[in-house]
Amino acid sequence: MRFFGIGRAFANERAQQRETEDMRDEAESFDLASDGGYWTLLKGALFILLGYYNARLFVVTVPGWEGWLTAFFALAGEATALCCVNSYTRSAGWHRAGLGLFGALLTLFSITHATLSFFRMEEHAAASSAVRFYCERVAFPLLFGLLVLAAVLVPLLHWRKRISAKQAKAQVRIASSHAELLGESAAMRNESQLERERLNQLGEQMKIEREYLDQLRQFVGLKEEERAVIESITDPDLRAKIAAQIGAALPPAPSQRRIAPLSPARPSSWPAPGSGANNSSNTPNP
């Protein structure tokens, strides 16, 4: 019985493996509906047909080279609409919205012009004047304006432009920081140079003052030497003459120095001047 159980287990495992392989083969063989192929060919053929009828309308209704110029912009509108439609599913955000908007507007104008051209509305008496006025006066500026807006706005709404704007802001911040750093470095260098100049000026002033003190010491020594020489002269006239010539103050001669006289000591028994008692004793009796 044990051997039969092992055989059943192996058989179940092989059955599960075959089932897994079948499911994998089925998944690999399954093919989703494609968005290309026939649909791409049909879309291209439709836009070619719309382009033909658009060009025919403006070449027939607008005379001369202006008709061909308007037809050229009509074909440019067709190409722009086709590009917007093809790129719509491969974009996101505001760029996708811009592609959808301009693709729808240009396609609508293309279908309108192709309808007018297909039914030859320019030949009908009721609509001929209105169609010719529109083709000659309105169609060209309208198509030109739409193409200009599409050419400007659709690239601006692309996500790369936002990234470029962020990169530009980052570069501006880096450049501003670099400029501020250079300015601060220049200011620090100027401040250091200014302090160094102040230090040099202070050293120069100290040097001048030191020289001034040396000269002043020499001058003082010279004056003291002059005074000593003048004081050493014993002749008063010669000393006065030399002092007058050199403009020095004449010191008093040693012999002419006055000594203050000393007042004699008064005995303590002497009466004080003006004493009445003494005056009466010294006055003789009559």
Q: What is the pLDDT of residues 123-164, one digit of tens each?
A: 887 788 888 888 888 888 998 999 999 999 999 888 888 888
What gap in Å lies between CA 68 and CA 56, rounded to an integer?
9
228 vs 222: CA distance, rounded Å = 10
Are 76 and 147 within 8 A, CB to CB? yes
* pLDDT at residue 223, as a whole number: 82
Candidates 69, 71, 75, 47; CA nearest to 58 is 71
pLDDT at 185 (0 to 100): 92
Predicted confidence at residue 243, as pLDDT, reads 74
pLDDT in tens, 18-27: 778 777 777 7
Distance between CA 139 and CA 113 in Å, rounded? Answer: 9
Cβ(56)–Cβ(115) below 8 Å: no
Contact yes or no for 82/47 (Cβ under 8 A): yes
* DSSP per-residue string spanning 218-259: HHHHHHHHHHHHHHH---HHHHHHHHHHHTPPPPPPGGG---
What is the pTM for the complete model shown?
0.53
pLDDT of residue 4: 55
Question: So what's the pLDDT on residue 281?
Answer: 41
Asked if 77 contacts 143 with a C-beta cutoff of 8 angstroms, the reply is yes
> What is the amino acid identity at position 78?
E
Query: pLDDT at position 6, please?
Result: 66
pLDDT (0 to 100) of residue 136? 85
pLDDT number for residue 274: 46
Q: SS3 of 284, please?
A: coil
Q: At what angle do helices 64-88 and 38-61 cross, to 10 degrees?
A: 160
Task: Report the pLDDT value the prediction gives residue 72, as an integer from 0 to 100.
Answer: 92
Using 50 as the pLDDT threshold, list the residues of the chain that sit under it: 256-260, 262-270, 272-286
Does residue 145 contact residue 84 with C-beta atoms inside 8 Å?
no
